[in-house]
Structure 1
């Protein structure tokens, strides 16, 4: 039985674990405030909160329920918009939406309210920028977004007016959440939520890619849910090597203090990767085995010269360099029953530099036309190491073997970079598609390659160093 708490109600259901959480909430529980929009995780109309209890502390995150399997709710607290309501009055978030005339047709409103509730419950600093991030995955169809931004600003003001700890009690007293939230940690402890998963069917972690492509198939067939497998979780650093469990998410990376120290623009880079709801649920393992030629985190890890640990059904492990993992379009070195367990890479040194660039039709919440990352080490103005990756210009996420090799040992100069670009162009083979023509993608590949050096070494390189030779 799948067992969890939905709002203030304990649920025990024998429904298929591959059913989407959205459909269970709407059609089995008749809680229709959670809306159906895109069914691809893009619009935020179906946003809910997931509360997970760890070490007696419950943490809430927003997700899109349309691409989340019901089985992933097991043992957790699920909050739909109905579960945010107070008795006979509006919550602080609802009042902010009302006061700023931030609702028109009303279709998107429940998702915004839930996302703002998640912001109030989160451990993030209560500033306006973080509030906008929290609602960044919610779309308004009535061109009323400025009013919604004003509502978010009011929520931030209400939170910042107080200096007390943002405990459940404080949020309850100040009408951000209903009283029953205070009982949830103890109730989750008391749930008889044994492992429901059977080791059969298709592996599913966050489901953010699979449920876009194969939702109907997954609803009707066995799924092997792995999102809560502890041996696939966690981020650890030992001897200057970072190891990331493949169940970890972009949000886990985002919130990791030591990695933010090692990669000073980490959050700036990760903000280009989907919405907060998707960053909260999509796994790195899923991103890698999706094998998309433009997978943002795949390009990210390729440039870090990462290794992957592969686990077979008997528990035996093998290691593979990620740059040798991909074999062709949507194919890779993973045998039947094998699973990605972890990703590892060496942390940057004082002489190392990392950068990620992405071009798409809109800055955020979009699939890349071309994306690229670089990890480069410099000693006495000589490139001692270089690892460059690029997406959208080949059938696979592309590690630039020849370009990286060429740069190693060369003097860091505009002449070197221009020569390397010529080699780069010979390594890629873009095709024309909906995201741009072949010529356009070659142009983007060149510009992003130059952009890495202008971003990392602004005192040494300017656009003029490259434009006059282009």
Structure 2
């Protein structure tokens, strides 16, 4: 039985764990403020908040409920737009939308309200940029966004007067209703035995699987991996980082040590989907999904990562991620194995990392081509380098020949131009909805050059490469 708190109501349901949270909320509970839009996690109309009780305190994140299995709500607090309502007045987020004329047809408004309420509940710094990030997964087709951005700033200005942690100040100032204060003790009292599944379908975040197969999953009691603690955690020791397969891009985003080692980490991750998706999609799922354009797969390939695979009998084997992929949607994972973690060496004082991506929209879109590089340089010589690229082959591509060619070469424009010749032989893009093969080859070249102009501006500028364009 799935047990959780939905707004102010305790839920015990025998509905299949594979049903989407959106369908349960709308059709079983008749909470229709949570809208059906794209059913792909793109529009944000179905945004809800998920509250987890950790170390005695609540942590809330926004997710898109249309691609989240109901079973992942087990033991949590789920908040829809109805659950943010106050009895006799608008909430701060609702009033901000009204006061700034930030709604027209109104279809997208509940999602924006929920996302801004989640921002108020979050531990992030209460500044304008973070507020805009919070609504990055919400699309509006009417307002032109400026009025919504003003509404977000309205929320920020009020939050900047906050002087205490916890729910009391937020309740007193009209951000959330009073019942939130009792949620921690109610969750503690909730019986949350491990869900038992009758099917062998194993799902973690499910953000891509539910786009493709929601109709096939909705009647199943699936095996959910999200709360498997063996697959969680970010551990850094002796210059090596080990990330559990269940961790998310948001957990990387919020990790202070990784943000120190990767100074541009947040700007890189901002190109990966939206905050709602980053809050729920797992790295293990991204890797095993085996998409040729998976952003985080390309990220980890350039770090020359290893992956640990584990069986139900806890037998482990470790393989290089670049050897994991064997063909389109085909990879080295046996039926009884799960991906346990991803391991890589951190950049050092002499090494540099960069991630680039081109898509039809800058944010919240699938890449036409994406690429990453991890390069070590000593005395103007490339001592080690790993280059990866997506959208240019049937698999997420580790550019073995390009990386081998660059190693030991001088850091010069001539070297990079020669490496591009190797790169073009390393890739084999096809024409599809994201561009022709020629266009992708052009992108591959330009993004490859971009790595060097971004990482080594003292050595390179665009003029070094334009004349060869």
Aligned to 1:33: 33
SS of the counterpart of 2:25? helix
- TM-superposition CA deviations, 1:217-262 (whole Å, max 9, x none): 1112331100111000110011111000010000000000000000
Aligned to 2:431: 432
**2: CA distance, partners of 1:217 / 1:241:** 40
1:50–1:63 Cα contact (<8 Å) kept? yes
1:286 Cα deviation from its structure 2 partner:
0.5
The alpha-carbon distance between structure 1 residues 201 and 29, as it changes in their structure 2 partners (threshold 3 A), is same
- TM-superposition CA deviations, 1:294-331 (whole Å, max 9, x none): 10000000000000000112211100100000000110
**1: CA distance, partners of 2:144 / 2:465:** 42
SS of the counterpart of 1:282? coil
212-221 or 341-350: bigger deviation: 212-221
Q: What TM-score do the two structures reach when normalised by structure 2?
A: 0.99
**1: CA distance, partners of 2:204 / 2:337:** 14
The 5 A counterparts of 1:235-384 are 235-384=234-383
Does residue 53 in structure 1 map to residue 53 in structure 2?
Answer: yes
SS of the counterpart of 2:279? helix
**2: CA distance, partners of 1:356 / 1:5:** 40
- TM-superposition CA deviations, 1:360-403 (whole Å, max 9, x none): 11111111000000000001111110000001010100000011
**1: CA distance, partners of 2:304 / 2:425:** 21
The 5 A counterparts of 1:418-429 are 418-429=417-428
SS of the counterpart of 2:334? coil
Aligned to 2:209: 210
Aligned to 1:129: 129
**2: CA distance, partners of 1:42 / 1:424:** 33
Does residue 153 in structure 1 map to residue 116 in structure 2?
Answer: no
Aligned to 1:444: 443
1:391–1:398 Cα contact (<8 Å) kept? yes
Aligned to 1:99: 99
The 5 A counterparts of 1:161-172 are 161-162=161-162, 164-172=163-171
Aligned length: 469
1:144 Cα deviation from its structure 2 partner:
4.1
Aligned to 2:4: 4
2:102–2:143 Cα contact (<8 Å) kept? no
**1: CA distance, partners of 2:94 / 2:296:** 35
- TM-superposition CA deviations, 1:26-69 (whole Å, max 9, x none): 11111111110011100000000000011111100000000000
1:103–1:144 Cα contact (<8 Å) kept? no
**1: CA distance, partners of 2:199 / 2:382:** 48
SS of the counterpart of 2:367? coil
Compute the RMSD of aligned alpha carbons. 0.9
**2: CA distance, partners of 1:459 / 1:345:** 28
1:143 Cα deviation from its structure 2 partner:
3.2
Structure 2 residues without counterparts, runs of 5 or longer: none
1:462 Cα deviation from its structure 2 partner:
0.5
1:250–1:284 Cα contact (<8 Å) kept? yes
2:19–2:220 Cα contact (<8 Å) kept? no
**1: CA distance, partners of 2:405 / 2:198:** 46
Aligned to 2:23: 23
Aligned to 2:194: 195
SS of the counterpart of 2:447? helix
Aligned to 2:395: 396
1:77–1:184 Cα contact (<8 Å) kept? yes
Aligned to 1:417: 416
SS of the counterpart of 1:220? coil
1:197–1:225 Cα contact (<8 Å) kept? no
**1: CA distance, partners of 2:151 / 2:16:** 39
Aligned to 2:232: 233
2:92–2:174 Cα contact (<8 Å) kept? yes
153-162 or 294-303: bigger deviation: 153-162
- TM-superposition CA deviations, 1:77-121 (whole Å, max 9, x none): 000000001111111111101101111111111000000000000
Q: What TM-score do the two structures reach when normalised by structure 1?
A: 0.99
1:454–1:461 Cα contact (<8 Å) kept? yes
1:17 Cα deviation from its structure 2 partner:
0.6
1:199 Cα deviation from its structure 2 partner:
7.2
**2: CA distance, partners of 1:199 / 1:60:** 30
1:149 Cα deviation from its structure 2 partner:
0.9
Does residue 466 in structure 1 map to residue 465 in structure 2?
Answer: yes
SS of the counterpart of 2:420? helix
1:302–1:323 Cα contact (<8 Å) kept? yes
The alpha-carbon distance between structure 1 residues 316 and 117, as it changes in their structure 2 partners (threshold 3 A), is same
1:338 Cα deviation from its structure 2 partner:
1.1
1:102–1:144 Cα contact (<8 Å) kept? no
SS of the counterpart of 1:462? coil
